[in-house]
Amino acid sequence: MLDLSFYKDKKVLITGHTGFKGTWLTRILVNAGAVVCGYSLGAPTNPNLFSLAKVEDKIKHVIGDIRDYKHLKSVFDEFQPEIVIHLAAQPIVRESYKNPLYTYETNVMGTANICECVRLTKSVKSFLNVTTDKVYLNEDMPDHAFKETEPLDGYDPYSNSKSCSELVTHSYKKSFFKDMDVSVSTARAGNVIGGGDFAKDRIIPDCIRAVEKNQEIVVRNPYSTRPYQHVLEPLYIYLCICEKQYGNKDFEGYFNVGPDDCDCINTGDLVALFCQTWGNGVSWVSRYDGGPHEATFLKLDNWKIKDTFGWRPRWHIQECMKKIVEFTKVYFNNKEDVPFEMDREIKEFFKVK
């Protein structure tokens, strides 16, 4: 189990801190008393959680590109992090079909640059590369739950670039990190949902945009099944891995970070749950738009993190949806209250035993 007090005064470098997961993570770490440096491009959407969360003046906030090795290295040299959590990525499947080269440059060479900086920065004791459930060779076998030992070979450029990001990390681990005083893991997370995601082409943000405009929610593919989890679930695990492996290589590994089977549901059911939880007669319609290939079925075997860290999911899908609706109503009502709503959720989530 995670001990958040471990992070007090620890120097943590987060890449992708201006994104959805990165902002939540930054807020948790700042609240825990960590010294945080964020390195990333500007927030990827407008509006965005990073501005709403009001964390910028509580951290060392660096706008930079992970493809720019020289700049990245100068930030490592100056900050001397003890813990590095790598989240920065081009994370959208459809975007990767439009811009495959940019996706590979960011997700593969960006990761190589981070690994190289970790290799050359002796202060780093714990490094986590965040990838995705889409890293596996997925032949759409119904009800198949991927195990960590299965082949890595994502289909589309996003998924595949994340498989490559894993491989780069594995090679650095075998070639360099194994003889160094740094522990290294990767975490393959499922689809996260939660308040404050404004990304294009993600289902919950699509629902919220529709509600905001008083429109029916349009679902592209209601039959694709995904392992949905609240954004605080993987963040909890990332922090747990970084804490436990700090100074103890026994906890290093490649970990699936997914919910229990009951939370692997199809997009239609997820949207129906959103409508029911939101109320006010919100409704949805299925309208297939002939988009590029995306896996129909995705589920993760989560026994390894359960066994290694004693972790169990805390908020199942109904609770996640309740939190999304509560958060969004706060956001619609008064944007200034968003940081308080974040802290309220963080406190509630982390106090569960």
The span of 61-69, 172-180, 208-216, 299-307 binding ligand NAD (CB under 6 A) equals: 61-69
- Answer yes or no whether residue 90 interacts with ligand NAD by CB under 6 A: yes
C-alpha distances (whole Å) from 136 to each of 85, 94, 130, 149, 255 are 22, 18, 14, 10, 13
C-alpha distances (whole Å) from 167 to each of 131, 147, 170, 197 are 11, 16, 5, 29
Q: Which of 199, 218, 265, 272 binds ligand NAD (CB under 6 A)?
A: 199
- Answer yes or no whether residue 41 interacts with ligand NAD by CB under 6 A: yes
| Coil vs helix vs strand at 230 | strand
| Other residues' Cβ atoms within 10 Å of the Cβ of residue 164 | 22
Nearest to 189 by CA among 241, 113, 143, 244: 241
Spatial distance between the Cα atoms of 157 and 168, rounded to a whole number of angstroms: 16
DSSP 134: G
- Nearest distance in Å: CB 264, ligand NAD: 14
The two three-digit tokens of residue 132, written as one number: 């995705």
- Answer yes or no whether residue 195 interacts with ligand NAD by CB under 6 A: no
- Answer yes or no whether residue 167 interacts with ligand NAD by CB under 6 A: no
The two three-digit tokens of residue 66, written as one number: 């992970």
Helix/strand/coil percentages in the chain, nearest 5: 50, 15, 35
The two three-digit tokens of residue 135, written as one number: 């890293």
The two three-digit tokens of residue 112, written as one number: 């190589």
Q: Which of 103, 160, 185, 191 binds ligand NAD (CB under 6 A)?
A: 191
Q: Which of 4, 85, 117, 192 binds ligand NAD (CB under 6 A)?
A: 192
- Answer yes or no whether residue 21 interacts with ligand NAD by CB under 6 A: yes
Q: Which of 12, 53, 75, 88 binds ligand NAD (CB under 6 A)?
A: 88
- Answer yes or no whether residue 18 interacts with ligand NAD by CB under 6 A: yes
- Nearest distance in Å: CB 113, ligand NAD: 9
Restricting to residues 124-153, name those near ligand NAD by CB under 6 A: 130, 132
- Answer yes or no whether residue 321 interacts with ligand NAD by CB under 6 A: no
Q: Which of 87, 118, 320, 338 binds ligand NAD (CB under 6 A)?
A: 87
- Answer yes or no whether residue 177 interacts with ligand NAD by CB under 6 A: no
- Answer yes or no whether residue 94 interacts with ligand NAD by CB under 6 A: no
The two three-digit tokens of residue 289, written as one number: 């738009």
- Answer yes or no whether residue 93 interacts with ligand NAD by CB under 6 A: no
The two three-digit tokens of residue 43, written as one number: 């927030």
Residue type, 260: D
- Residue ranges binding ligand NAD (CB under 6 A): 16, 18-22, 40-41, 44, 65-67, 87-91, 106, 110, 130, 132, 189, 191-192, 199
